[in-house]
Structures are given as structure tokens and as C-alpha cells.
């Protein structure tokens, strides 16, 4: 049986990948930073944490994995990162994140050399600068690419800056213009054998970087269809309630959505996501009675929020595959999203939602108005959204990703 190490300095969907490999008998080790197991710093921090922080820490454990399946590196550094990310020092915290990632992956590569698995799965980050440590080893190197490549993202964001004049976009995401980081990305990709991508958008970004199509395997992410479920006998009357879940940032395209809602006082927009009180987006729109900044909403409260609203809107400039979109669809919300969200791969126009170009505010308003005028359409499309989400369950993901990784190993051996 093939053995695979999965290494992620954070979390994202890596628990699900590790679970998939464990189910298939292919997991050698899951390597991470912050993980809730006995005698870890995370377990000590949990004793003192309260409120949302306590809930967030408690999610750093995968029930399907045994404690001895998990190896922890750089735990303290990432705990510091969690606190830094709550402060307004974006540039410093981003450099700190990159330093910690680099240190983590350097330790991972040494660990991999000792265990000599058949393959390692890493995530986009500073793993790339240490991959040459594995040269000469018969270890298949797979990168799970959760968002489009840095070069590609920079082009999208620069186009938005040129079109809107919002220079804050570059300040908020300066790393996409950092030539050292971009060079590191390019060189790292040359050391990767195969790429797992969640969407056509991410695949397109890799092809633009010269990656061969045969190296790319599309495996869309999943959703917990038992956690996110539609509310029976839902009322679609009254004011139209739109929902956005994610950070309050320009990369998420929220500025374009807010432009529209600010001019349409008969539509309510609920924004579930962390924000800074000094954010221009917040300051400019906080006094509108139809725009509701809810702050960060923990996952245990999300399903109720989805069910309180009518339509989910995701105006992002660039994503990998926005899992909040799948969650909303599982909860029975039609979705309006851009072509750059990844989740648009699951949307059939006019059936379970609508897809538009991220900078086409006319189209976005048009789709919002369709839902505002035809509430029966919302209820019909809600059923279709749920049916679609069932095809993207985590169980389906487990089967698909385990098969894809086994294919990578077998193809490389041949």
C-alpha cells in the first residue's frame, strides 16, 4: 500500500485530505503546526481561551485521525501568528507568516527524508523553496493548490486597481507584487510533479505559468451536507436578504457589491466576516441601515444565518474554490458569484444561481433584481442548489482525491 505524508502549516481543507488518505489506508503522517492533542501548546491555550477564540481552537482537531497520525512542528510560532493576525499590522504579520511557513516546511522536508514515503502533499506556500532537499529521492511531490498562482492573482488585482483607482488593494496584498516571493513560486513549481486544483480558475492560472495540463488534476472541494441543511417551509417574502460570508476586503470584491447595495435601500445585505474598524469599506458603509456588518461568525452559527437569508452573493476577484459557496448551496441558497470564485464550476445559470464577470456591476445588479422580483424563482432554485451540493459532499471528495493521488504515484513510477 502506498504511503503519503500530508503537510499543512494551517488547516484549510487539509483535515479532509488526511481523512481521505486514512480511509484509503494511504496516510503515513499528517504534519501541521497547531493541533489539539494531549500535551500540546494548543491544548494548554484552550484551557484559558474564551468565546470565539475557544471555539476556533477547538476546531484544530480531526476526529477521524488518531493522535499518533499527527506530527506537530512550529506550534508556538503559529500561535503567535493567530494573535498577530488580529492586529492592524498587516505587513509585519504577513512577513511573519511567511517566515513561519518557511521554517515549518524546512523541518517537514527533513522529516520526509527520514520517513521516505511514496509521496508528499504540500500546499501553496513557502514549501517551494525547500523542495530541492528532496531531489534524487523517489518521492512524488504533489501540491494542493488552494488559490490561483501569485503572478496570475497580481494581474487580476492590478487590473482592478487600474479600473477603480483603489490603491489600497496593493497595500493590503503587497506580497503579490513581491518579486522574491513570485520568483520563489515559479522555482517551486518546477520542483512539483503534480498539482491538485479545486477549480478551472486555478487550473487556468497554472497553465498560464507554463505548467503542463497532464500535471494538473481537478478535485473540487466538499461540504458537510449534514451540517448545512435547508430550513423547511422557509419564507421568501419581505425584503430581499442577501448574504456574504468572508473577510471584508477588496480582494473579495466586496467594494463592488457595496456600491450596488448602497444605492438600493430596499435590499438588505448581511456581511459575516471579520473586519477592522479602520477599514475604508467599513467606515464608508457602516451607517447604511440596509448594510449589516455581523463580524466573524463561528461555524456552529452559520447554518442558521444561511437559513435566515434568501440569496448568497460572492463577488470575489480571485479564489480557489470558495467553500462558503458550497455551504450556502447545501443550505438551500441560490448563489450569485463571479467566474473567479471556483465555486462557479458548480453553478448552472438560471438553475441554481448565476455567474458573472467580477467587474460587471450591471450584471450583478441584474441578477439581484431577478431575485427581488421573483421570489418563486428563489424557492425553485433553492431546491436545485441543494441537489448540486449533494454532489459535492466531503465523502465524494474523499473518494476523488484518494484516487487522484494514487494515480499521481502510479504515473510517476511508470
The pLDDT tens digits of the residues spanning 379-392 come to 999 999 999 999 99
User: For residue 414, is pLDDT > 70?
Assistant: no
Closest by CA position to 62, among listed 80, 42, 48, 85: 42
Q: Are strands 70-72 and 119-123 parallel, antiparallel or unpaired?
A: unpaired
pLDDT (0 to 100) of residue 183: 76
Most confident region among 91-105, 121-135, 186-200, 271-285 by mean pLDDT: 271-285
Domains 4-222+394-413 and 240-390 share a fold: yes
Sign of CA dihedral 268, 270, 276, 281: negative
Q: Are 53 and 41 in contact (CB under 8 A)?
A: no
**How far apart are alpha carbons 46 and 37 in whole angstroms?**
11
Measuring CA to CA, how many Å separate 44 from each of 38, 39, 69? 9, 7, 20
- Give the percent of the chain with pLDDT over 70: 95
Q: Rounded mean pLDDT of 44-63?
A: 84
**Residue 7: helix, strand or coil by DSSP?**
strand
Of the candidates 414, 413, 406, the one whose C-alpha atom is nearest the C-alpha of residue 3 is 406
Residue with cell 430550513: 231
Q: Name the CATH superfamily for 4-222+394-413.
A: Glycogen Phosphorylase B; (3.40.50.2000)
CATH architecture designation of domain 240-390: 3-Layer(aba) Sandwich (3.40)
Please determine, for residue 160, whether its predicted confidence score (pLDDT) is greater than 90.
yes
Neighbour tally for 50: CB within 10 Å: 7
Cα distance between residue 289 and residue 365, in whole Å = 19
User: Cell numbers at residue 296, please?
Assistant: 466573524
What per-residue confidence (pLDDT) applies to 180?
A: 76
Which residues lie below 8 Å from residue 227, measured CB to CB, with a gap of 6+?
A: 299, 303
Cβ-proximal residues to 398 (8 Å cutoff; 6+ apart), any chain: 16, 19, 20, 23, 24, 222
Query: How would residue 309 be classed by pLDDT, with cut points 50, 70 and 90?
Result: very high
Q: Which residues contact 308 (CB under 8 A, 6 or more apart)?
A: 241, 270
The per-residue pLDDT for 92 is 66
- Residue 159: what pLDDT? 97
How far apart, in whole angstroms, are the C-alpha atoms of residue 187 and residue 191? 7
pLDDT tens-digit map of 206-257: 999 899 999 999 999 999 999 999 999 999 999 999 999 999 999 999 999 9
d(CA 9, CA 98): 10
pLDDT bracket for residue 1 (50, 70, 90): confident
Angle between helices 41-48 and 75-84 (to 10 degrees): 40
- Grouping H, G, I as helix, E, B as strand and the rest as coil, residue 380 is helix
Highest mean pLDDT range out of 162-176, 182-196, 290-304, 330-344?
A: 330-344
Residue 393: how many other CB atoms lie within 10 Å: 17
Q: Which single residue is written with the C-alpha cell 488580529? A: 86
* C-beta separation of 270 from 292 below 8 A: yes
- Give the N- to C-terminal CA distance of the chain in Å, as an integer: 16
Q: Do residues 304 and 280 make contact, with C-beta atoms less than 8 angstroms apart?
A: no
- Picking from 314, 309, 315, 317, the residue whose alpha carbon sits closest to that of residue 325 is 314
- Measured CA to CA, the distance from residue 109 to residue 128 in angstroms comes to 10
Q: Band of the pLDDT at 109, cuts 50, 70, 90? A: very high
- Alpha-carbon distance of 334 to 60, in angstroms, equals 30
In this predicted structure, what is the pLDDT of residue 380?
A: 96
Neighbours of 88 (CB within 10 A): 10
Q: Where are the domains of the chain?
A: 4-222+394-413, 240-390
Structure confidence at residue 356 as a pLDDT band (50, 70, 90): very high
Cβ count near 114 (within 10 Å): 6
pLDDT in the model for residue 126: 59
Residue 131 cell numbers, joined: 523542495
For the segment 81-104, the average pLDDT, to the nearest whole number, is 71
What is the full DSSP assignment across 121-164? EEESSGGGGGGGGGTTS--EEEEE--S--HHHHHHHHHHHHHHH
Mean pLDDT, rounded, of the chain? 91
Amino acid at each position: 500500500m502506498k504511503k503519503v505524508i500530508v503537510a499543512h502549516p494551517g488547516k484549510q481543507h487539509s483535515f479532509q485530505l488526511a481523512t481521505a488518505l486514512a480511509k484509503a489506508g494511504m496516510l503515513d503522517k499528517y504534519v501541521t503546526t497547531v493541533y489539539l492533542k494531549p500535551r500540546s501548546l494548543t491544548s494548554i491555550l484552550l484551557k484559558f481561551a474564551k468565546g470565539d477564540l475557544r471555539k476556533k481552537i477547538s476546531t484544530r482537531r480531526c476526529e477521524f485521525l488518531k493522535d499518533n497520525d499527527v506530527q506537530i512542528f512550529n506550534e508556538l510560532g503559529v500561535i503567535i501568528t493567530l494573535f498577530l493576525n488580529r492586529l492592524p499590522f498587516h505587513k509585519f504579520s504577513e512577513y511573519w507568516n511567511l517566515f513561519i511557513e518557511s521554517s515549518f516546511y524546512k523541518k517537514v522536508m527533513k522529516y520526509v527524508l527520514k520517513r521516505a514515503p511514496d509521496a508528499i502533499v504540500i500546499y501553496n506556500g513557502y514549501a517551494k523553496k525547500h523542495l530541492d532537499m528532496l531531489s534524487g529521492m523517489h518521492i512524488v511531490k504533489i501540491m494542493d493548490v488552494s488559490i490561483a498562482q501569485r503572478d496570475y492573482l497580481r494581474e487580476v488585482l492590478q487590473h482592478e486597481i487600474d479600473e477603480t483607482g483603489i490603491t489600497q488593494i496593493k497595500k493590503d496584498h503587497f506580497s503579490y507584487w513581491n518579486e522574491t516571493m513570485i520568483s520563489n513560486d515559479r522555482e517551486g513549481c518546477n520542483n512539483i510533479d503534480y498539482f491538485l486544483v479545486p477549480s478551472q480558475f486555478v487550473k487556468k492560472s497554472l497553465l498560464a505559468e507554463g505548467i503542463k495540463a497532464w500535471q494538473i488534476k481537478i478535485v473540487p472541494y466538499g461540504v458537510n451536507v449534514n451540517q448545512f441543511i435547508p430550513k423547511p417551509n422557509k419564507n421568501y417574502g419581505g425584503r430581499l436578504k442577501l448574504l456574504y460570508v468572508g473577510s471584508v476586503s477588496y480582494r473579495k470584491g466586496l467594494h463592488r457589491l457595496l456600491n450596488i447595495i448602497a444605492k438600493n435601500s430596499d435590499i438588505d445585505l448581511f456581511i459575516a466576516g471579520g473586519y477592522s474598524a479602520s477599514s475604508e469599506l467599513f467606515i464608508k458603509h457602516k451607517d447604511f441601515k440596509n448594510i449589516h456588518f455581523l463580524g466573524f461568525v463561528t461555524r456552529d452559527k452559520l447554518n442558521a444565518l444561511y437559513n435566515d437569508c434568501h440569496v448568497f452573493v460572492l463577488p470575489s476577484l480571485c479564489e480557489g474554490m470558495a467553500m462558503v459557496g458550497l455551504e450556502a448551496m447545501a443550505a438551500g441558497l441560490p448563489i450569485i458569484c463571479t467566474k473567479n470564485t471556483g465555486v462557479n464550476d458548480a453553478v448552472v445559470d438560471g438553475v441554481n444561481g448565476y455567474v458573472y464577470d467580477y467587474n460587471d456591476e450591471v450584471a450583478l445588479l441584474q441578477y439581484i433584481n431577478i431575485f427581488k422580483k421573483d421570489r418563486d424563482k428563489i424557492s425553485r432554485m433553492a431546491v436545485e442548489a441543494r441537489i448540486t451540493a449533494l454532489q459535492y459532499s466531503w465523502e465524494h471528495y474523499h473518494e476523488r482525491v484518494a484516487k487522484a493521488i494514487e494515480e499521481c504515484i502510479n504515473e510517476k513510477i511508470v
